[in-house]
């Protein structure tokens, strides 16, 4: 099994990793953006790409950072997501690499992230009803309770890592409830999520891929047991509805459960982590929010614009087509920089300025657009809006306790650690 996974890694990650390294040494802007320098600060590379035009050919894929073009491609049914299972693997590798399918995970079909309509529509339909504005509003009271419990547990005037203690804990508690999972297992899921999300990057190392596959197998075993329990005793949760109300097979149920965990957890954890860091680094913006708390929803939109939880995505041409005067062959790959689109000066004035009062902050593309728009967007907005306001009201003197540390991954770009000194706790009496 390890040999098969190694061959899959070589085909899907190892070869792209080598190409990116070679092109980075040659000075290619896109390759450097996708490497360690780009993870630290991608925006200089984004602006170099933007200066070359709306649609830029690199030695690897086409790239665009243009807001209008990114939105157009995301909504154009002539483009689709790229399935890693459909990458052309040399036959000698494919014979061994595909002998055994990988464990169900968000990076491989039949996870909806890697599917195009009509299969994607079939996968998505049983899930989206749990994330409508009305359904999300029903979760508000639970979000408030979870938030207050987490804040109560923090040491007044102590120091904590806000990712571990708060940013990750609010969304995982809610998604567990939605999936009918026991709260005692949250810590294990946080670990699995940390290990598995790099699979959505390009060119990850063998050691990261191996750890991700190991966690994917463990998660598969766990979900096998959980799904069988829900088959016998279904509840009112999303997963029970998927089991009883859809035609998804067991493998597809597991793959899409991992996507729901990612959509409901990873993006929100990154959003809250970015927001804490940005507001602590821009105290004048925090002061504005304290003076005008009605600005909090717009502040969440500005965080999403300024530091989107998902940095980059990709689409492939499903047919030969013309785009921006360029004739693209079927299969042509275009990397879409959501972060670049969100700082397009044609749409956002002074785009590199963080401004919680920005009037058109909600024009960002942080949650994608079109058929693959993030179905967890409403939940993420609600969770972050309440949690952030409650946290800064509870600890008004919060200060950084050291430099935050970014995860070494680009697709889901967020902080691994945000150390803070809390200051004295203030127990507010007013409701939000």
Q: Count CB atoms within 10 A of the CB of residue 135.
A: 15
C-alpha pair distances (Å), 71 with each of 38, 201, 345: 23, 21, 15
Phi, psi of 260 (to 5 degrees): -60, -40
Per-residue confidence (pLDDT) for residue 429, from 0 to 100: 45
Indicate left, alpha or beta for 328 from its phi (over 0: left) and psi (-120 to 50: alpha). Answer: beta
Q: Record the tokens describing residue 317, joined without a space.
A: 């041409």
Residue-wise pLDDT tens digits, 271-297: 999 999 999 999 999 999 999 999 999
The fold of 2-421 is Cytochrome p450 (1.10.630)
Q: Count CB atoms within 10 A of the CB of residue 16.
A: 17
Taking the CA atoms of residue 54, residue 59, residue 60 and residue 65 in that order, the dihedral angle to the nearest 10 degrees is -20
Rounded to whole angstroms, the Cα distance separating 98 from 23 reads 29
Provide the H-helix boundaries in 89-205. 91-97, 119-128, 133-138, 140-152, 162, 169-179, 186-196
Position 401 pLDDT exceeds 90: yes
Rounded to whole angstroms, the Cα distance separating 341 from 362 reads 13
Stated pTM of the model: 0.90
Q: Record the tokens describing residue 38, joined without a space.
A: 């780009």
Rounded to whole angstroms, the Cα distance separating 81 from 291 reads 44
Residue-wise pLDDT tens digits, 201-229: 888 999 999 998 899 889 889 999 999 99
C-alpha pair distances (Å), 260 with each of 148, 188, 244: 24, 16, 17
Rounded to whole angstroms, the Cα distance separating 213 from 103 reads 7
Peptide bond into 118 cis (omega under 30): yes
Q: Record the tokens describing residue 70, joined without a space.
A: 């990114």
Per-residue confidence (pLDDT) for residue 124, from 0 to 100: 65
Position 354 pLDDT exceeds 90: yes
Q: Record the tokens describing residue 350, joined without a space.
A: 């002074």
Q: 263 falls in which pLDDT band (50, 70, 90)? A: low
Residue-wise pLDDT tens digits, 100-154: 566 655 556 555 555 566 565 666 666 777 777 888 888 899 999 999 999 999 9
Average pLDDT of the segment spanning 351-362: 98
> Edge to edge, what strands does the sheet with 333-337 contain?
56-57, 62-64, 333-337, 312-317, 79-80
Rounded to whole angstroms, the Cα distance separating 126 from 243 reads 9
Instruction: Give the single-character DSSP code of 235.
Output: -
Cβ neighbours for 18, distance < 8 A, ≥ 6 positions apart: none
Q: Record the tokens describing residue 267, joined without a space.
A: 């993006």
Element (H, E) at 406: strand 405-406
Cβ neighbours for 51, distance < 8 A, ≥ 6 positions apart: none
Cβ neighbours for 361, distance < 8 A, ≥ 6 positions apart: 298, 301, 302, 304, 305, 355
Phi, psi of 231 (to 5 degrees): -65, -40
Q: Which residues pair with 415 in a beta bridge?
A: 406
Q: What is the mean pLDDT of the chain?
A: 86
Residue-wise pLDDT tens digits, 175-188: 888 888 888 999 89
* 384 within 8 A of 396, measured Cβ to Cβ: no
Nearest to 265 by CA among 355, 187, 379, 408: 379
Q: pLDDT higher for 379 or 245?
A: 379
Residue-wise pLDDT tens digits, 291-319: 999 999 999 999 999 999 989 999 999 99
**Could you state, in order of their start, the residue ranges of all structural domains in the chain?**
2-421
Per-residue confidence (pLDDT) for residue 261, from 0 to 100: 77
Rounded to whole angstroms, the Cα distance separating 172 from 379 reads 12
Q: Per residue in 92-118, is it b (16+ CB within 10 Å) or e — as a string? A: eeeeebeeeebbbbbbbbbbbbbbbee
C-alpha pair distances (Å), 122 with each of 184, 242, 321, 392: 32, 11, 27, 41
């Amino acid at each position: 099994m390890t040999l098969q996974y190694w061959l899959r890694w070589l085909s899907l990650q190892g070869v792209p990793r080598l190409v990116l390294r070679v092109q980075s040494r040659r000075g290619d802007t896109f390759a450097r953006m996708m490497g360690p320098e780009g993870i630290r600060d991608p925006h200089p590379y984004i602006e170099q790409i933007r200066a070359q035009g709306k649609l830029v050919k690199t030695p690897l894929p086409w790239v665009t950072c243009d807001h209008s073009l990114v939105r157009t491609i995301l909504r154009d049914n002539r483009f689709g997501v790229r399935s890693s299972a459909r990458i052309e693997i040399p036959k000698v590798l494919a014979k061994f690499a595909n002998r055994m399918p990988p464990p169900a995970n968000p990076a491989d079909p039949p996870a909806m992230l890697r599917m195009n309509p009509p299969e994607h529509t079939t996968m998505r339909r049983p899930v989206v009803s749990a994330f409508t504005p009305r359904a999300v509003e029903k979760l508000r009271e639970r979000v408030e309770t979870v938030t207050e419990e987490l804040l109560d547990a923090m040491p007044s005037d102590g120091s904590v890592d806000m990712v571990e203690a708060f940013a990750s804990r609010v969304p995982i508690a809610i998604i567990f409830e939605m999936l009918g999972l026991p709260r005692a297992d949250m810590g294990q899921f946080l670990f699995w999520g940390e290990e598995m999300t790099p699979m959505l990057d390009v060119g990850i190392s063998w050691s990261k891929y191996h750890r991700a596959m190991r966690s994917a197998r463990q998660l598969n075993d766990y979900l096998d047991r959980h799904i069988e329990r829900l088959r016998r005793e279904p509840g009112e949760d999303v997963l029970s509805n998927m089991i009883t109300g859809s035609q998804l097979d067991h493998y597809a149920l597991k793959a899409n459960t991992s996507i729901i965990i990612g959509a409901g957890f990873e993006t929100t954890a990154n959003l809250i982590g970015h927001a804490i860091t940005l507001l602590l680094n821009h105290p004048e913006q925090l002061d504005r929010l304290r003076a005008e708390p009605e600005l909090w929803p717009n502040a969440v939109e500005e965080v999403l614009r300024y530091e989107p939880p998902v940095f980059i995505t990709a689409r492939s041409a499903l047919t030969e087509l013309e785009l921006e005067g360029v004739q693209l062959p079927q299969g042509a790959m275009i990397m879409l920089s959501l972060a670049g689109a969100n700082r397009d000066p044609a749409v956002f004035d002074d785009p590199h300025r963080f401004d919680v009062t920005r009037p058109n902050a909600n024009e960002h593309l942080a949650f994608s657009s079109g058929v693959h728009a993030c179905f967890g967007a409403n939940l993420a907005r609600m969770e972050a809006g309440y949690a952030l306001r409650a946290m800064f009201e509870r600890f008004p003197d919060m200060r950084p306790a050291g430099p935050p540390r970014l995860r070494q991954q680009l697709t889901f770009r967020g902080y691994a650690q945000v150390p803070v000194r809390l200051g004295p706790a203030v127990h507010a009496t007013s409701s939000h």
